[in-house]
Chains A and B, each alone.
Chain A
Amino acid sequence: MHSKLIVSAVQEGTGLEAVEIHGMNRGSFLLKSTLAVGAVYGAAAVGPFVQRAMAQDAMGDIDILNFALTLEFLEADFYKKGLASNLSAETKELAQLFGEHESAHVEALTKTISDLGGTPVAEPTFKFPFTDEASFLELAQTLEDTGVGAYNGAAPLIEAKEVLGAAGSIVQIEARHAAAIRLLRKEMPAPGAFDEALQKQAVLDAVKPLIAA
């Protein structure tokens, strides 16, 4: 059910023609350059990932980091709640380890945002509707896959190289998590040759049902 929720939100991507470029801030300049590239190499060269990334509102690095922080808060709380439920030893071990990673991500993102002079978002209250181990793992897979898509969608918009490096370092872990959970659920660790980029709004819309307050 949750996978469908997120997939339908993703499919609402806007087309290239709907993108408006305002002003000449750096983000816009980069988007314009990318459009120029597309014009030179042909429309076919502009992949779906770039389309989705360009369709997003211009976000500064701090906004992107706060977006990531929200997702990390969500994942950390998810594993914490999972550990408090009835899980097999193997799944408990996974939830413990991955939860530690997400907590480390929360810490790192919070610090980076503060260092950049921004205000880290407050931790929301979440509610996760899993009822047993099977539904816990299903939701875990969805959340990790969504995390990968969210980071991949936001990454091309990041301005500072250090922030991009940090995001890359984190998304790789989310991808590793996703693959491990998929393997546990006897699914293909990598559903496709290229991981989809998800739009920020689509991701936020998809996780909204999980936010209690």
Chain B
Amino acid sequence: MTHPEEKVQDQPALRELADDPASRKQFLKLMGGGVAGASAFSLFLAACGGNDEETAGTTATTAPAQTEAMAADGDLKIVNYALTLEYLEADFYAKVIESGLFSGASLELIKVIGDHEQQHVDALLGTAKTLGEPAAKPETTFPLDSAESVLELAATVENLGAAAYLGQAGAIKNKEILAAAIAIHSVEARHASALNILTGKSSTPDGAFAAPLSMEQVLPKVQPFIVS
């Protein structure tokens, strides 16, 4: 069954979008078997609920090994949080592509963005596995009514993602994981900027300084898209 194609309003910016060769950065990819886990959302509610996300740091009475374990535990929670957001984004774009709402240059852009999110999933999943149990892939639901509403939703989600990463920058202990999060953060910002422009909004809605969002602020906003 074919879906009626609805073309996005022709915009100068979308015409002849060049396809930069996207180099797949295969970092932090680790082999691992499937891990049966609790549902994604319940895993992170458990992770975030009641936990002090402030700097754990070291105390005079904490043994080094314990501190390291605490740090890894904290990092796992953050990585799983990011992983869940990336799962949502990757799934969203996969469904959008499947919907047939887009074609031409706009479809091309959506495919590229979706590919980026999938690469983020791959990297974060690998990282999570090195730290402990990765968050399970959530089952998602997104409204896909029209090309316009989908672009709006995409813009919302990307801006949310960028703010979410920014909100966690200071909480990540491991420098390698921090470097990875930083590398992803700016890409989400690029996505957000482009989608803002395509939906008639400012590329920089926060002005000169981007505003972070906490886990407690972000999770309720994505809850509507998680079925289980």
Residues A192 and B187 in contact in the complex (CB < 8 Å), given A48-B25, A50-B179: yes
List, in ascending order, chain B residues with CB within 8 A of A152's CB. 179, 182-183, 186
| Dominant secondary structure at the B interface | helix
Of B2-10, B11-19, B144-152, B216-224, which binds chain A?
Answer: B11-19
List, in ascending order, chain A residues with CB within 8 A of B137's CB. none
Q: In angstroms, how far is the closest chain B Cβ from the Cβ of A159?
A: 11
Contact A155 B182 (CB under 8 A): yes
A47 in contact (CB, < 8 A):
yes
Taking a contact as CB atoms closer than 8 A, the residue among A33, A97, A148, A197 that contacts B179 in the complex is A197
How far is B192's CA from A188's CA once the two chains are assembled, in angstroms? 13
Interface size on A, as a range, is 35 or more
Contact A186 B18 (CB under 8 A): yes
B128 in contact (CB, < 8 A):
no
Contact A168 B116 (CB under 8 A): no
A183 in contact (CB, < 8 A):
yes
B20, B192, B209 interface centre (most CB from chain A within 10 Å): B209
Contact A175 B187 (CB under 8 A): yes
| Dominant secondary structure at the A interface | helix
* A-binding residues in B (CB < 8 A): 13, 15-20, 22-25, 27-30, 55, 109, 112-113, 115-117, 119-120, 123, 130, 162, 166, 169-170, 174-176, 178-180, 182-187, 189-194, 197-198, 203-204, 206-212
* B-binding residues in A (CB < 8 A): 30-31, 33-34, 37-38, 41-42, 44-50, 53, 97, 100-101, 104-105, 108, 148, 151-152, 155-156, 161-162, 164-166, 168-180, 182-184, 186-197
